[in-house]
């Protein structure tokens, strides 16, 4: 599967390597083109997943604010709910298309 914005592939991984959490596909960290993401200072803590790291996505000369996020150190208890460790996996907001 691929995460694509404006024709640019941001992440690419086999479907079996992704994790679906609350309707969002999370890509393994090694499948993401890191230089297309810029860490954001936007704070957020999920009650059951923990502290979130947001990223802005580079699309050509445009930077799309907070269109990706990850949980670098999720709560250990959340692994049972998700079914496996998803530390540093990256999910994308709706304007980033997830395609086969």
Q: What is the mean pLDDT of residues 90-98?
A: 93
CB of 39 within 8 A of CB of 63? no
What is the C-alpha R_g of the chain?
Answer: 13
CB of 2 within 8 A of CB of 11? yes
Cβ neighbours of 54 (radius 10 Å): 19
Shortest CA distance to 53 belongs to which of 44, 62, 61? Answer: 44
What are the sequence ranges of the domains in the chain? 2-99
pLDDT tens digits for range 30-76: 999 999 999 999 999 999 999 999 999 988 888 899 999 999 999 99
Confidence of residue 94 (pLDDT cuts 50, 70, 90): confident
Q: Which CATH number fits domain 2-99: 3.40.640.10, 2.170.150.40, 2.40.50.140, 2.40.10.330?
A: 2.170.150.40
For residue 37, the surrounding DSSP H or E stretch is strand 37-39
Q: Is the pLDDT of residue 28 over 90?
A: yes
pLDDT at 59: 83
Report the predicted TM-score, pTM, of the whole model to 2 decimal places: 0.94
């Amino acid at each position: 599967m691929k995460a694509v914005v404006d024709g640019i592939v941001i992440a690419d991984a086999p479907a079996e390597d992704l994790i679906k959490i609350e309707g969002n596909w999370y890509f393994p960290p090694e499948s993401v083109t890191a230089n297309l993401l810029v860490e954001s200072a936007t704070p957020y803590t999920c009650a059951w997943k923990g502290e979130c790291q947001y990223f802005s996505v580079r699309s050509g000369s445009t930077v799309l604010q907070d269109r990706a996020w990850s949980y670098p150190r999720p709560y250990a208890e959340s692994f049972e709910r998700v079914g496996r460790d998803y530390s540093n996996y990256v999910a994308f907001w709706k304007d980033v298309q997830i395609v086969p």
